[in-house]
Amino acid sequence: MSTITTQDGVEIFFKDWGPKDAQPIMFHHGWPLSSDDWDAQMLFFLSKGYRVVAHDRRGHGRSAQVDFGHDMAHYAADAAAVAEHLDLRNAIHIGHSTGGGEVAAYVARHGQPQGRVAKAVLVSAVPPIMLKTEAYPNGLPIEVFDGLRSALAANRAQFFRDLPAGPFYGFNRPGVETIDGVVDNWWRQGMMGSALAHYQGIKAFSETDQTDDLKAITVPTLVLHGEDDQIVPYKNAGVLQAEILPNATLKTYPGFSHGMLTVNADVLNADLLAFIQA
């Protein structure tokens, strides 16, 4: 397997496909998944001649199941370690959900200062913050995230079946047919990772205020969000991101779910390609 070891001793798995002299696109996955969640995008952009890169976040997928560093700062530093190891330049960074927070932190704190980033994309992403705070009174109450922690601790395997079979892909909506393979693949990816990383990651994706990260990003940034996102409500995330980012374009999709990159890959891939080529 292709791996690197970070400065704090964590082995990170990554994929690196395509011509090494082509423009790189680096994908950052959501909680509690792995780089495999980007299959539809990596194959698509590989076919268009790009170099495509994705890694498994620490504690997720095939990366080391360590008991430390499950926070947005370490996530960003790990992404930076991969980008620096591969010497990715003029790169597009695309993040989904928690991976969108990782992209915001990486671009603001590492990639942009190093001159490695051309553009960024935040898809169904968690910034500026999911939790209800004084600054963001329309956020979700802490009880929502306490409920996620309780469900994970009680029966992670069942929780990781119920979430994709229900709100994640909108399969709980009337008239929407459940795609069993999509649910099974979500469960497979989740169960590959560490229960501890997933448990601690809930705090990382819900309580990290990334307002300053968003303000610092000056590269062109595309914000994509489904209007029927039941996991990260678009008015509390995508709309706010577009208001805070200095150089943002917002596109929302009526009826699309949090998992739109998978179940609506044809639409999303076309829009991603148009932004990258613009």
Residue 15: its H or E element: strand 11-17
| Contact call for residues 79 and 6 (beta carbons, < 8 A) | no
CA distances from residue 7 to 4, 69, 107 in whole angstroms, order as listed: 10, 12, 19
| Contact call for residues 251 and 95 (beta carbons, < 8 A) | no
The separation between the first and the last C-alpha atoms of the chain, rounded to the nearest angstrom, is: 35
2 is catalytic: no
96 is catalytic: no
229 is catalytic: yes
Place of tokens 């423009």: 23
Question: Alpha-carbon dihedral of residues 141, 146, 147, 151, nearest 10 degrees?
Answer: 160
At a CB cut-off of 8 Å and minimum separation 6, what does 165 contact? 171, 172, 178, 183
Catalytic residue from among 35, 74, 229, 257: 229
Catalytic residue from among 55, 70, 225, 258: 258
Catalytic residue from among 97, 124, 194, 206: 97
Place of tokens 């996530």: 75
DSSP H helical ranges for 86-208: 98-106, 142-163, 180-192, 195-207
For 96-129, the DSSP string reads: ETHHHHHHHHHIIIIITTTT-EEEEEEES---S-
Angle between helical axes of 195-207 and 72-85 (0-180°, round to 10): 100
**Interatomic CA distance for residues 12 and 61, integer angstroms:** 9
**Interatomic CA distance for residues 173 and 175, integer angstroms:** 6
Question: Which residues participate in catalysis according to the annotation?
Answer: 97, 229, 258
